[in-house]
Amino acid sequence: MIKVIMGLKGSGKTKKLIDAIHDAVAEAHGDVVCIEYGKKLTYDVTYKVRLVDSKEYGIKSPEMLKGFLSGLHAGNFDITHVFIDNLYKTIGNAAAEDFVAWCAKFAEDNSMEITMTVSEDPDEAPEGIKKYI
């Protein structure tokens, strides 16, 4: 399953993401990973979540993030939830629609949930992303 939390800056996306992370930790029967852009969530989420700063790993493209997610899963089959904060800042918005489609298949194939935030007006989102809002 995949979910996109979308809205303009200041619309409460990060708060929704943090709430979803805490819900996942409370319900999960596996590990929870959050990929953030910069170290902003360190004090907002519980220590039970594996926080990863995409900047530290030089993730700048959809291909790099796909490889990173695949590597995380290959190294830990117990991951049940992955959260990605600031998708456009991490990989840009040019290929985001294709990346979201890849994530949907990856999540389904590996029995995990992926939730991501996107800073954009939901009314202007591409159809491939809108269906996951």
3-state helix, strand, coil in the chain (%, to 5): 40, 20, 35
Tell me the two tokens of residue 92.
């840009």
Give the rounded distance of the alpha carbon of 31 from its chain centre.
Answer: 14
Structure tokens at 49: 């979540």
Stretches where the chain sits below pLDDT 50 are: none
Any idea where the domains of the chain sit in the sequence? 2-130
Q: What is the pLDDT of residues 40-70, one digit of tens each?
A: 999 999 999 999 999 999 999 999 999 999 9
Indicate the residue type of 20: A
Confidence (pTM): 0.94
Using the structure block, give the residue that is written with the tokens 């819900």. 23
CA-nearest of 11, 17, 57, 13 to 37 is 57
Q: Does domain 2-130 have CATH number 3.40.50.150?
A: no
